[in-house]
Each structure stands twice: as structure tokens, then as C-alpha cells.
Amino acid sequence: MSIQIFGLPVSRGVAIGRAVLVASGRVDVPHHFIDPARVEAEVTRLLTARDVVNDEFDLLKRDLPSDVPTELAALLDVHQMLLQDEALIGAASDWIIERHYNAEWALSAQLEVLARQFDEMEDAYLRERKADLEQVVERLLRCLGRDETAAATAASDMAQSDFGGDEPLVLVAADISPADMIHFKRSVFTGFVTDVGGKTSHTAIVARSMDIPAVVGARQASNLIRQDDCIIIDGDAGLIIVDPSPIVLEEYRFRQRQSELERSRLARLRHTPAVTLDGERIELLANIELPEDAEPALESGAAGVGLFRSEFLFMGRGDNLPDEEEQYNAYRRAVEGMKGLPVTIRTVDIGADKPLEGMTPSELRHESVLNPALGLRAIRWSLSEPSMFRRQLRALYRAAAHGPVKVLIPMLGSLQEIRQTLEQIHHVQRQLTESGKVWAPCELGAMIEVPAAAMTLPLFLRHFDFLSIGTNDLIQYTLAIDRADEAVAHLYDPWHPAVLQLLANTIAQARAAGKGVSVCGEMAGDPAFTELLLGMGLRSFSMHPTQVASVKQRVLRVDTRRMQAIVPDVLSADEPEQACQQLLSSMGASLAPKVASAA
């Protein structure tokens, strides 16, 4: 029976495929297809892991002390029974044979199937056996992980094989961390569904950067959807359709084809200069997470990188954080990849919905921190860890010797933080000079994402070369809303009058001071705001590479002088979004994205 599940639309488009359910604790399990020629070897790899784990259980039972409770020995017997059960190993082998999943993925897929069956059992004792099954699978996964040679061969297969079965696959999970999203960035999945999250949570942001449909905040989706269900993800409406009827399926396939045609038309604008009807040249920049993202940024027609989120180099590393050399090489690759275009690199912004696993200070890990968004994050964390901060700064200034680099400091809010940051920068510059290392000066910018910063702009304009408005956090802190919490996501409102007034005031003051100002939050890549931001005087937008063409299309059709005239009316309105739409309609500006005639 077909069912519908509603969530928050965070990445536009339609995805149709088979559901792959992944538990939060197993998101980092390798997920890739194997070459058909390696199916038999991969099944053997799984069976070998089973035998190894079985031997481990035999050894554990043999070495049990004589006074150990009999229940423990019985528990080991249960684990061995589960290990030999065809419902686990046999069915996992079928995933390898029929769908060409690698062994780890096949095990995880079958675990989700069996876990659902355990959950539905009426007998409490039997339901509790799910934990035993999970422990057995974890042992198998660890054993497979120790098989480094086979893992390397499988990774090679992943790079060489494009086998994907008969249908695309979509990922369904309770939650996906930012680090895990990066893990999946080059994966086989064509869409995402999560139970939790908000429109500007970093799971949503990375999904948009991947240009794949995604719905978050879908509450019970991971419980209602079963492994291998056919589902539709409607990224425009925030709708998931499970087991759709043939008529509905065909309708959405038609929409997919229309979307692909629209993208191909927009692609024609890639090399068209972003110049408004009245001759204003607009800078459209790209947001990236990793050095290799420089290539799609160039392909999108971006004029540079307006935000390199350096924290993604640190995530999922445990105790093995990148040292100065690793960071330097990563930043240099991004700089060289942009072929002379400017690259703005933000210093590490961890905390809140981007925790740094295993290496955050005790305050970040402590359970008493009820709201990490208000805790030790971004520049606060960097200043609390000066040795780490200096390593990153040295790497940044060294990378600047290979091309134009701008350094961006996140979440500054006070003169004390500004002074401490500048002291660290001057200290690093002296260190580099004294050590004889090659480095180059960088423009220094401040992110305006705390209301306190937006309300004391003259202070920031005196100390920094440029400003970058992070609208995601600015909205969050202005409206006192946790943007990663789906329970209050409906209150997250970029059209709120207070938000728009802070934006307009920041842009106006920066321009009056002759300082560069850009918007690097999600509003920059939303065509619904393009005309208004241009009217406010914004001339630099930074967004996901996939959004550049859509925003450029709007830019090409705008007369900024006419837009400037509507800004006071929008800012003074009780409902700015409706006022903006009415004013644009009266001026003949279309709100529906269409390809510019120049294309």
C-alpha cells in the first residue's frame, strides 16, 4: 500500500529509487558496488569473516573462567547461532549476488531488515535479541575492516565500475552527520531522507551542494520505510511517497525529465557574464567543502570561491586531526584548482551541529551543554585551542603563496575576540618570516552572523578588509531558533523583518565604508531573494556551485535601480515576502524561474 510522509524540502528535484536504510551508528560503513566479476570473491570474503568471528567466539568460550555465570556462556552460544543463521549470512550473500553490494553494505542492509522484524515481535525476550544481532554484525564489520587488501581491491572496483543495478538508490536514515555526508558525497545515492534536521542544518547544506533531492525532518521515515522499498523523494514539496502507484510513478518520472531539460538550458549561462540590465557587474562565487570541489566550482562559472568550509577537513578524524602540512596541501590544491581566481577560506567552524569527534574540549562534550549552538564553537573554539589555530593560520598563509587567498573568521562578536584573533595572526606571520617559510599576505574578513556583530559594524569595518554575512546563523541567533531542530523549523524565517533590516544595514554600512561585502549563507543561492538583495546593494553572492546558474538567470533580468526603489517598502512591511512579491509583480518581474532570452 502506498503511503506519504512529509518533511522539510531542503534540496530541489525528484529522486526515484530503492531505499537503503542505514542506522546512524553505521553510516560510515563502506557503501559501493562491486564489479560483477568479483561477486564470488566478495561472497567468499563475507563467509571468511563469519568463520573468523566464529573462531573468536570458540576462543572466548574456551577461556571463560570456571566461576563465570552460565548465562554468559549461553549468550555466546546465542551469538554463534545468529552468526550461522542463513537469515543473516545467506541473505547478505544474496544482496552481494543480486545487487552487487560490497560485503559491509550487504551486512548492514540485512541487519536493517532483521532489526525491523525483531521490533515487530510480540515476545519481549525475542525483541531483546535484536541487540545480540547488532553485536554480531558489529564484530563481522570489524573483521571485514581488518581485511585491508580486500578493502583496497573493493575500493578500486568502486572507482572502475558503474554498475548500479536496475534502479537508483536513495539513502534513508534517522540522522546523518556532516562528516558522514561528506563520506557519501561521491557515493551511489541519488537522494536523501532523514528523520531529523532543518532547512539549513549542515546535512541539508551538503545535500544541496551535491545537487540531489533531499527531505529532512521527516520524523518517523526510517521506521515507516523498509529496506528496498520503492520510494519517490519530492525535494520541492518535502514529500516522500513509499510504494507509489504506476500512475504516480510515471508522473514523477516525467517531472524528472523536465528538470533535466531545465538544467541543460541553465547550463548555457555558464560562460555568460553576470551583468544586470543597467550594467552592474555581479560577483557570483561558490561555496565548497573540500579541495576537489574546486573543479565543479569552475565548471559552474563561479568567479571564485566565496566560502571554503575548512572544518570538513577535520571531521571524522578522531584523534588524527590534520597537521599543518596536510592542511597546507589541501588549501594549496583548492587555490591551484581555481586557476588564479580568489579563494576565501573560513577558519574551522566546529561545534553546534558540526561537532569535532574525539578532539573537542570537555565543555563541548559535557552533557550539561544543553544548546551547543550557544557554546564553545567557531572562533571561540579556535581561541581556546591556540596551538591548533596557529597551525591552521600558518597553513593558510603558506597556501596564499600559490594564489589569491582571503581568510574569513567565523562568529566574531566582540572587540576582545577581534584583538585575540589579530594577535594570533600577527604571531603566525612573525613565525613564518623567522622560519624562512614562503608565505603571502591575505585579505582578512569577518563573518557577520551574530546580531551583536551586525549592530556594531563600525568596530568590524575598522579591523577587517571585507565582511561576509552568514545568513544561516544570523537568522538562527536573531530569531532564537535552533536551525537543526525540525520541531521549530517552521519558525526559521529569512523573510522576518528583523533579519532583512540587519542585512540591509550591514550591506549599506560596508559599501559606505568602501569595504567588500558578500552573503555566503543559503539566502545567496535562493533565487527568491536575488532581486531584493541586489536592491539592497549587494554585489557579491556566494552559493553552492549548482545554484550559480539559477541566480545568474535572475541577475541578467534585473535593473538594480528599479530594485533599489522597492527596498524601503519591503523593509517597512509587516509581511515582507508578500510585499516583495506584489511589488515585483507590479514591476513585471517574473517570480517563476525561466531561462533568460539571452541564453
| SS3 at position 509 | helix
Strand-pair partners of 21: 172
Q: Answer yes or no: 183 catalytic.
A: no
Q: Which of 79, 202, 402, 544 is catalytic?
A: 202
**42 assigned ligand-binding residue:** no
Beta-sheet pairing, 305-309 with 283-288: parallel
Q: Which of 143, 442, 520, 580 is catalytic?
A: 520
Strand-pair partners of 408: 346, 445
Which of 497, 461, 460 lies closest to 479, judged by CA?
Answer: 497
Give the single-character DSSP code of 347. P
CB 399 within 8 A of CB 405: yes
Q: Answer yes or no: 520 catalytic.
A: yes
**219 assigned ligand-binding residue:** no
CB 234 within 8 A of CB 192: no
Q: How large is the C-alpha radius of gyration of the chain?
A: 26
What ranges make up the beta strands (E) of 349-409?
405-409
**483 assigned ligand-binding residue:** yes
**299 assigned ligand-binding residue:** no
Q: Report the interhelical angle of 103-119 vs 89-99 (nearest 10°).
A: 130
**449 assigned ligand-binding residue:** yes
CB 195 within 8 A of CB 171: no
Please list, in sequence order, all residues whose beta carbon lies within 8 angstroms of the beta carbon of residue 170, skipping any fewer than 6 positions away: 15, 17, 18, 19, 20, 189, 190, 191, 192, 193, 231, 233
Name the phi and psi angles at 232, rounded to 5: -115, 130
At 319, list the grid cell.
584523534
Could you write out the DSSP letters of every residue in 103-114? HHHHHHHHHHHH
Question: Which residues are documented as binding site for Mg(2+)?
Answer: 449, 473
The catalytic residue positions are: 202, 520
Question: Which residues are documented as binding site for phosphoenolpyruvate?
Answer: 309, 346, 472-473, 483
Question: Which residues are documented as binding site?
Answer: 309, 346, 449, 472-473, 483
